[in-house]
Amino acid sequence: MNGASGFPRNFAAMLREGAARWPDRHYAVFPERTLTFGALHEEAARFAANLLGDGIGPGDHVAIVMPNSADFLVAHMGVQLVGGCSVLFSTRFRETELAHLLEHCDAGAIIVSDLIDAHIDLAALIGHALATADTGGNHVAGGGEVRPRLLYLFGRKEAAGFRTIRPGELEQGADGKTNLPGYESGPASNLMIYTSGTTSMPKGCMLSAETLMRSWNIYAKAVGLEGGQKIWVPLPFFHCGGIGLATLCMAYGLTLVSRSHFDADSFARMIEEHRVDHLYPVFHTISMPLLASAYYDRDRWAGFLKSMVSVGPLGGQEQLRDSLPDDARIMNVFGMTESSGVLTVVPPDAPEKKRLATCGRPMPGVEVRIVDPETLDDVAAGEKGEILFRGGGAFMGYYKDDSATEATVLSEGWIRTGDLGFFDTEGWLHFSGRLKDMLKVGGENVAAAEIEAFLSTYPAVALVQVVGRDDSRLGEVPVAFIECRGGHDVSEEDIVAFCRGRIASFKVPRQVVFMKEWPMSATKIQKHALRKMLDTG
């Protein structure tokens, strides 16, 4: 069953085809080990046989909370081979987010790894989150029942309640076979990524192998990818950029180069050792440290590097251009989880001014409009408005959230992005910022309402508002404006300590401002006035 551009319509068929065509070609390179297409298929099939033996099958949701690794790919593809849906959670989520999401996502199993135990014990974290969810803790919305779960730990250690899966030592199923029924999941969602929105908690974007391929073919065609080339994938696989590139590599017979966490020196050595053709850091917080590494050498890299995709202000783009080899083209891009990743990209042969300052033109199969956010009427070239799109890798909606889906997906398939932009007179798309109340902290989308909801659980907090403050390293960081309840003496340090370890680090406020009076419109606090307070010191 084929879908976008003739590629298999689901991950399972894509894996089988890739293993048959390129059994000995490297598919994924990590510091700890390398997987060929054939080896991934064999290991994923063995894990799938175990999943089937444990009662996990077609349509079941399986939550994966793992860093980038060969084990992640084995787990994800094992789920796909039994016809399941991989539900990808950020490894940066903490107890508060996980307790809510584990209740919401209906996972019949959870898979974690011990690869990053030195940084965070994921098995222990999941255990605490499950306990919070099962007991109806304060941070679980809705009070729904939490299903019993199978818990798998990829690694070497033992953890209470988890079944340890040792990489490379997976046994075959009880029948001694790794041949699986060959489930075809068709156009239904077989992938779900939780992304922050304008609500208080992340929403589950329903995607599929087909939507990913419709999206990432845009990048493939723009760059002119060829089988056997290598792509640097520093983005986590729980990000649509990470899993999207992993899917693209499988479909095209490419090799991805990655590791469990970002380290500029280690990545620079890997890129040079494997002579990587294309770099996909996207965010300046990743691309700039890489090119500043002592292991980066412009002249040596000129022999293999072809392109880099990075998004940011023009000044930063020009700095990257000056650091790259002359023939390595820097390219800009626009996309989101709801578009399965790439929506528009500037091709490497575009004029330099367009590559550095714009997000490209809509390619075949994608339509983009700029509209007035209130009336949804089209605006003229050069006039800013909300970016709408349809086609490409458009998502299937938000899981168990009809109201959010209806607010985002308009008639005739147009999808609201919540982002501002404009078309210039030559039809190139320019990104101008966010319409909705969102922050972008080091490339991570964060809903202000999510941080506000969490801080409001602190006993001394009467009212809280969160806005973004410009930051030279992360682009934007959260600042909390707080009005305390009477009789409470609270410091900035108290607020920050309350957050640490309980919400993801990028959501912790970098500054706390205590308020007694608020700038108000007729009924609402004026957040633009709060931002102005930061600007004026």
| Residues 460 and 402 reside in one and the same domain | no
The pLDDT, as a whole number, for residue 208 is 94
β-sheet bridge partners, residue 279: 232, 308
Instruction: Please give the structure tokens belonging to residue 258.
Output: 């990655």
Examine the pLDDT at 315 and tell me if it is beyond 90. no
Q: Would you state the pLDDT for residue 164?
A: 93
Is 107 strand, coil or helix? Answer: strand
Last residue of a domain, one of 434, 465, 488: 434
Q: For 450, list phi and psi in degrees, rounded to 5.
A: -65, -45
Q: What pLDDT score was predicted for residue 198?
A: 40
DSSP state of 139: T
CATH at 110: 3.40.50.980
Report pLDDT for 304: 97
pLDDT at residue 55 greater than cutoff 60: yes
pLDDT of residue 205 exceeding 70, the answer is yes
**Helix and strand totals (H; E) in the chain:** 16, 25
Is pLDDT of 532 > 50?
A: yes
How far apart, in whole angstroms, are the C-alpha atoms of residue 228 and residue 352?
28
Q: Is the pLDDT of residue 174 over 60?
A: no
Are residue 314 and residue 420 in the same domain, yes or no? Answer: yes
In a domain, 253, yes or no: no
Residues 395 and 484 in one domain: no
Q: pLDDT class for 209, splitting at 50, 70, 90? A: very high
Q: Are residues 430 and 443 both part of a single domain? A: no
**227 lies in some domain:** no
Rounded to whole angstroms, the Cα distance separating 13 from 274 reads 28
CATH for 359? 3.40.50.12780
Indicate if the pLDDT at residue 185 is higher than 70: no
Q: What is the CATH number of the domain that holds 518?
A: 3.30.300.30
Paired tokens of 9: 């319509």
Same domain, 413 and 449: no
Phi, psi of 298 (to 5 degrees): -60, -45
Closest CA relative to residue 418, chosen from 384, 387, 375: 387
**Single residue among 186, 205, 224 that ends a domain in this structure:** 205
Written as six digits, the tokens of 366 are 């994608």
The residue with greater pLDDT, 213 or 7, is 213
Q: 3-state class of 421 per DSSP? A: strand
Average pLDDT over residues 63-91: 95
Tokens at 95, concatenated: 């107890």
CA–CA gap between residue 229 and residue 256 (Å, rounded): 9
Do 420 and 323 belong to one domain?
yes
CA distance 497 to 212: 39
- Residues 331-369: pLDDT tens digits? 999 999 999 999 999 999 999 999 999 999 988 889 999
Residue 401 lies in a domain: yes
pLDDT at residue 439 tops 50: yes
**Total domain count, the chain:** 3
Most confident of 195-209, 267-281, 452-466, 474-488: 267-281
Q: What domain range includes position 311?
A: 262-434
pLDDT at 393: 95
pLDDT band at 434 (very low <50, low <70, confident <90, very high): confident
Q: Which two tokens stand for residue 415?
A: 């999808």
Chain mean pLDDT for the chain: 88
Is position 16 within any domain? no
Q: What is the mean pLDDT of residues 491-509?
A: 95
**What pLDDT, on the 0 to 100 scale, is given for residue 17?**
94
> Does residue 356 belong to any structural domain of this protein?
yes
In a domain, 126, yes or no: yes
Is a pLDDT exceeding 70 seen at residue 523?
no
Does any domain span residue 284? yes
Residue listed under structure tokens 């440290």 = 289
Residue 305 is predicted with a pLDDT of 97
| pLDDT per residue as tens digits for the range 383-402 | 999 999 999 999 999 999 99
Q: Are residues 324 and 190 in the same domain?
A: no
Cβ atoms of 233 and 258 closer than 8 Å:
yes
Q: Does the pLDDT of residue 142 top 50, yes or no? A: no
Do 525 and 403 share a structural domain? no
Q: Considering only CA atoms, which of 133, 134, 125 is closest in space to residue 159?
A: 125
Confidence of residue 527 (pLDDT cuts 50, 70, 90): confident
164 in the same domain as 38: yes
519 & 375 share domain: no
Residue percentage of the chain with pLDDT more than 90: 67
Q: Tell me the mean pLDDT in the region 262-287.
A: 94
Task: Please give the pLDDT value at position 141.
Answer: 32
Question: Per-residue pLDDT for 298 more than 70?
Answer: yes
- Characterize the bridge pairing of strands 429-434 and 438-441: unpaired
Tell me: pLDDT of 441 over 60.
yes
* Residue 285 confidence class, pLDDT cut points 50, 70, 90: confident
Is 311's pLDDT higher than 90? no
DSSP codes joined into one string, 506-526? GGS-SEEEE-SS--B-SSSB-
Strands in 230-232's sheet, in edge-to-edge order, are 34-36, 26-29, 255-257, 230-232, 278-283, 307-311, 329-331
Is the predicted pLDDT of residue 146 greater than 60, yes or no?
no
Decide if pLDDT at 536 tops 90: no
Q: Are residues 315 and 176 in the same domain?
A: no
- Asked if residue 466 and residue 415 are part of one domain, the reply reads no
pLDDT band at 437 (very low <50, low <70, confident <90, very high): confident
pLDDT at 134: 66
Q: Give yes or no for a contact between 209 and 249, defined as CB atoms under 8 angstroms apart.
A: no
Which of 434, 459, 494 is the last residue in one of the domains?
434
Distance between CA 497 and CA 452 in Å, rounded?
16
- pLDDT tens digits for range 321-330: 999 999 999 9
Indicate the helix (H) or strand (E) that contains 431.
strand 429-434
Instruction: Please report whether residue 242 resides in a domain.
Output: no
Given a contact cutoff of 8 angstroms between Cβ atoms, the answer to whether 147 and 156 are in contact is: no
